[in-house]
Amino acid sequence: MVYTAVAPKRSGQPDERIVYRDIPTPLGEMRLVASAKGLRGAWFTDQTLLPSAEGWTRVDADPILEQARRELDEWFAGQRRDFDVALDPVGTPFQHEVWRALCALDFGQLASYGELARTVGRPKGAQAIGGAVGRNPIIIIIPCHRVIGADTSLTGFGGGLPRKQALLEHEGSRYLSRNPRARRVCDGQVELPFEPPAFDWPRAQ
């Protein structure tokens, strides 16, 4: 993927046209948001951190939004492991550093907050890392769902733990519970040939 954002900026500046569209996915409706440079955001529409669409333009035909939709469809269908859409998230320099580190995690590769902190050169900054991960504005494509506890515990997720459990299972890591303290019980499935995944959503409690 092309990560175009390099400096902090404020979303919705007067000279900036922001467009969006809502799309269906196996895990619920998502809102995709784009600037002229790349994908600005991707949230499930029931997320607490979903920004207001005030000042944005709803469109059905935009090349960046369409590319993101197509790639997400392919990812959910088991036909894609990496994303190529250009990214243009808004954040602080530290947040960008963390989000870039998340983008470096391969399909099925998990990392703890401590490991991520060491990756960005802040070995004692796991708590700050957690804050930046939690503010990730491009869910799935910037794969914050791949961050777990040092003991493999599920921990948290902005899209909700049921979705995190499903996303990790799609990538080969199985959790029997949605409890944040649940630990991974198996992995290695990502080495197998892709089969069309069966997203049972919403799952029974």
Q: Give yes or no: 186 in active site.
A: no
Out of 30, 85, 133, 144, pick the active-site residue.
144
Question: Minimal CA–CA distance to 129: which of 114, 146, 148, 142?
Answer: 114
Question: Minimal CA–CA distance to 194: which of 80, 103, 71, 69?
Answer: 80
Gap between the Cα atoms of 126 and 67, Å rounded: 33
> Tokens 């894609």 label which residue?
80
Gap between the Cα atoms of 107 and 120, Å rounded: 20
Catalytic positions are 144
